[in-house]
Amino acid sequence: MRTTHVIEAPPPPYNVVGEAITVLAGGDLSKPFEMHIQVGVQGGGPPPHFHPWDEAFYVVEGEVEVTVEGKSTTVPAGGYVHIPAGTIHAYKNISSTAKMIGVVSDPRGGQFFAAMDRFKVPEDLPKIFEVAERYGVTFLVPKPAG
């Protein structure tokens, strides 16, 4: 059964490889979606990847280059992108800073961000790949040796 959820003050953000990600609504199956606020710096963003949940972004500030199935689009503030589950995608902040509202259709999104908190690249790459696999996220980059 779904329940009413009210958040009066946002929780502290997770530091996900340089992105500050605040999970506003997430973490259980009583909600039909999760909502995140994502803030990053120029050049930040994940490499090509896919996962078993839908994802959407609304760009609040800055510009973000979103690549979906190999096609890149610059999305300015006020722009919106929906990415179906299982679709290969990536994004990169192309302005000095960028802020997006993200919505996903599965509680594993926020759980994944929580598990990734404070990992660094390149030293934590083995841990990043292990966490990604646990939550159903597949990065399309070579795994580190070892």
88 token code pair: 């290969």
- pLDDT attached to residue 30: 55
- pLDDT attached to residue 125: 93
Domain spanning 14-136: CATH superfamily: Jelly Rolls (2.60.120.10)
Task: Express the helix, strand and coil content of the chain in percent, nearest 5 each.
Answer: 15, 40, 45
Q: What is the pTM of this model?
A: 0.89
- pLDDT attached to residue 131: 97
- pLDDT attached to residue 28: 65
- pLDDT attached to residue 33: 81
Strands 63-68 and 34-41: unpaired
pLDDT digits (tens, 9 = 90+) for 53-73: 999 999 999 999 999 999 999
Query: Cα-flanking dihedrals φ and ψ of residue 54, to 5°?
Result: -70, 155
Q: Helix (H) and strand (E) counts for the chain?
A: 2, 11
In which residue ranges of the chain is pLDDT below 50?
Answer: none
Domain ranges of the chain: 14-136
pLDDT digits (tens, 9 = 90+) for 111-124: 999 999 999 999 99
Place of tokens 């589950």: 85
